[in-house]
Chain A
Amino acid sequence: MFSCHSIAVLRRCGRHLTLNMKSLKVSLTIPTISQCSKFATDIVDQKKVIDYSSVNQLQASEAKSTDSVPKVDHRTVGNYEYDDEILDVDLLMEKLKRDRPGPLDPCNSDLSHLGPYFPATFNFAAYANKSPMIQKLAELGVNFAKIEKRNGLMKFLLPLDFEKDMKYHIRFLNDCGVPADYLGEFLTKNPLIFKEHLDDLYTRIRYLSAHNFTPDMITRIVMKNPYWVMFSTKRIDARLGHFQKTFNLSGKEIRKLATRLPKLITYNMNHVNGNTFAVKEEMGFEDYQTKILLLNHPSIWTKNRSFVVEVFDYVHNIMKLSHDAITQQPLILTCRLHRIKQRHMFLKKLDRAQYDPEKPLYVPLRSIVLDSDSDFCMEFAKMPVETFNRFLKSL
């Protein structure tokens, strides 16, 4: 109860001081408040009863203290001092008002270090003109607008210092062979790299070179999958081992797979295993076919499982393509179903749906997947693209 009261008193003093702040040196506020707290502890130590009159005395002495600006250090505020002295508050206030500089008086001291605090903000842009870190990263091409959409990253990035926390990580990326114009994109995708220890990062690269990945392969892996370097060597090793065991891959093949689609190695393993099941059991590919699919078109494993199965169902059961034919041209499995459907139905209508390379009027699956509408119509459907458009409007 007692201490609460004294804190209220101190608050009052604090407010008083801050009101006068403009006329004082700024450094004054802090020692005065600290002295006030010292005063409070004194009071608490001595368990002295304080009444409202002493509050007035305190304010008066504070007012006095503001009076003698150059002698800041001499103002020792001991509580006993107040008991002895009798101060005329009104007189002191008068004097204070007379002496303190007005708001329009010229100020001769350097105030450039003063400024408003940063208000709470949702984006980096508020800090952009002040923070050298943001300026440097923006020069590299980091897209802050994308980063700030992700949870928690702003809070992590803003306190970082470019020279101290970022420079060496960027040098590490440079050592890995990531070209300078790609750094921005890399850091946009994975700003969390600044969280990792440099030693860990170099160890992870050393792991790769120890497993006979050439520098070009390492560069590609780091560039294509910015999150690769976040994974510990133990995890990467376990995952590479898992792929090697599941699909019966040789060392050379696993290196080829990791280089071709580095994302797959660090992908959600439940998803990958689900897709393996889909390819082997739901679609019914043999083991050797699965292996060919994985090496030639690994992105089947990163696509939505039901989507791939649906496409396979259409290609196999309606377009009547065998497993072998699909294995040879696996691109079709990751093509959008409506595109395949539209083109197949159009060809069917023209009686040109012939996907066997050994017979005449062969339509390669590749052209269904990759060609533009006009090229496809001209070359394989032998129809103007307008006819195709009219056909699409009848679906």
Chain B
Amino acid sequence: MGVTSDARVVWQFLNGIAAIYKPAGYSLHRTRNTILTHLCRDLNALEGRPQREYVRIEGETDKPMTVQVVPNLADHLLLTGPHYQQKDFKLSWVNYLGYDTSGVVIIGINEGARTVMRMRESNPTRFYKVKGVFGQATDNYFTSGKIVEKATYKSIKRATVDAICASMQASHQRKMFELCGVDMQSQAAYELAIQGPIRPANNKIPMIYAIKCVAFNMPEFTLEIACINEYEMYLKTLVHQLGIQLHSVATCTQIQCFRYGLFTTELALLKKHWDVQSILDNMEQTQAILDNNKYLVEQDSPTLIEQQI
């Protein structure tokens, strides 16, 4: 890997996919804005293109005129503004995480924005860690809201939580086959079913493949959820539903997307590392993953594939 101080060279390389760790309480649009600001800041600190030249022809037209080449003031940084500005970049994301959710977000910069579209269509599984607390319910289903209801939670045991989770998972799996678009009694449905879990035909319907309680420390609990097509409010209401089914109430306190397809938090960049150097390094790593797993950008199977990180 070479070393350069020329912004134009760096700009050439700034095309691809990067994994970002979005903090909670920080909207994705703001994340995008911050990343772009940092990219511009770093690129403008590097050596830019030289100032253009200006041919000045002066004097009276009926006498020999003077022709001189001077630096073009109109192309000076004070007149043009910084060479790299936010509007010069393309930046879009593969998965959208809501305001309260933290976790891995895959973004595409410049040319990478095309890959983003194909990755989004390939629709890989996402893995969430959702924390909740029993005994209180808020108006917006999240800990930031106003408490509107309180209930006791003494009767709740680990086993009951596990049972509810298992029943939720089972009902989702049933729904999965109902929504796949084939007749439940047909041979086609049977052949799909023997291959394992499948993706929903419509990419608007949330689908939970696995839900498991991984930590249980009264009144707090943590769920791990593998799903597709989910959205922030869906996960919040899921916790709320869980509380109601346990004859108590529950509120979501934290949602973290710790894995998106093959991209894990290990790879994702923290907010303090959102700069050109780290993003370029990250792009290289993500590109290696994409190269080794073609199905990430072009999905041809309706069933979930065994993934290896």
Taking beta carbons and an 8 Å cutoff, which residues of A are in contact with B?
107-112, 123-126, 128-129, 134-135, 138, 141-146, 184, 338, 373, 389, 392-395
Contacts and interface: CB of A to CB of B under 8 A. Distances in A.
A393 B254 CA distance: 13
B75 interface: yes
Given A112-B59, A145-B79, A393-B21, 8 more contacts: A107-B61, A110-B60, A128-B73, A338-B23, A338-B26, A392-B21, A393-B265, A395-B254
A125 B61 contact: no
B21 A146 contact: no
Contacts, number: 69
Interface in B82-103: 82, 102
Contacts of A145: 77-82
A111 B59 CA distance: 10
B61 A110 contact: yes
A395 B23 contact: yes
Interface in B218-272: 254, 256, 265-266, 268, 270, 272
A120 to B, nearest CB: 16
B191 interface: no
A109 B270 contact: no
B76 interface: yes
B72 interface: yes
23 contacts: A110-B61, A110-B62, A112-B61, A123-B79, A128-B72, A128-B79, A138-B73, A138-B76, A138-B78, A144-B78, A144-B79, A145-B77, A145-B80, A184-B78, A338-B23, A338-B25, A338-B26, A389-B270, A393-B21, A393-B265, A393-B270, A395-B24, A395-B256
Contacts of B268: 393
A247 B277 CA distance: 49
B151 to A, nearest CB: 25
Contact of B74 (A112, A126, A146): A126
B80 A125 contact: yes
B21 A125 contact: no
B190 interface: no
B232 to A, nearest CB: 16
A129 B60 CA distance: 18
B11 interface: no
B78 A129 contact: no
Given A109-B62, A124-B79, A392 B270 contact: yes
A138 B25 contact: no
A142 B76 CA distance: 11
Given A338-B23, A338-B25, A128 B76 contact: yes
A11 to B, nearest CB: 31
B13 interface: no
A107 B61 CA distance: 9
Contacts of B79: 123-125, 128, 134, 138, 144-145
A107 to B, nearest CB: 7
A144 B73 CA distance: 11
B125 to A, nearest CB: 20
Contacts of A135: 73
The CB with the most chain B CB atoms within 10 A, among A123, A128, A393, is that of A393
A283 to B, nearest CB: 21
A373 B272 contact: yes
Contacts of B265: 393
A185 to B, nearest CB: 11
Contacts of B54: 129
A112 B73 contact: no
B74 A129 contact: yes
Contacts of B75: 125
Closest 6 CB pairs of A and B: A145-B81, A125-B74, A128-B73, A128-B74, A125-B79, A110-B60
Contacts of B24: 395
A142 B102 CA distance: 42
A35 to B, nearest CB: 28
A134 B80 CA distance: 13
A143 B21 contact: no
A134 B78 CA distance: 10
Nearest to B54: A129
Contacts of B25: 338
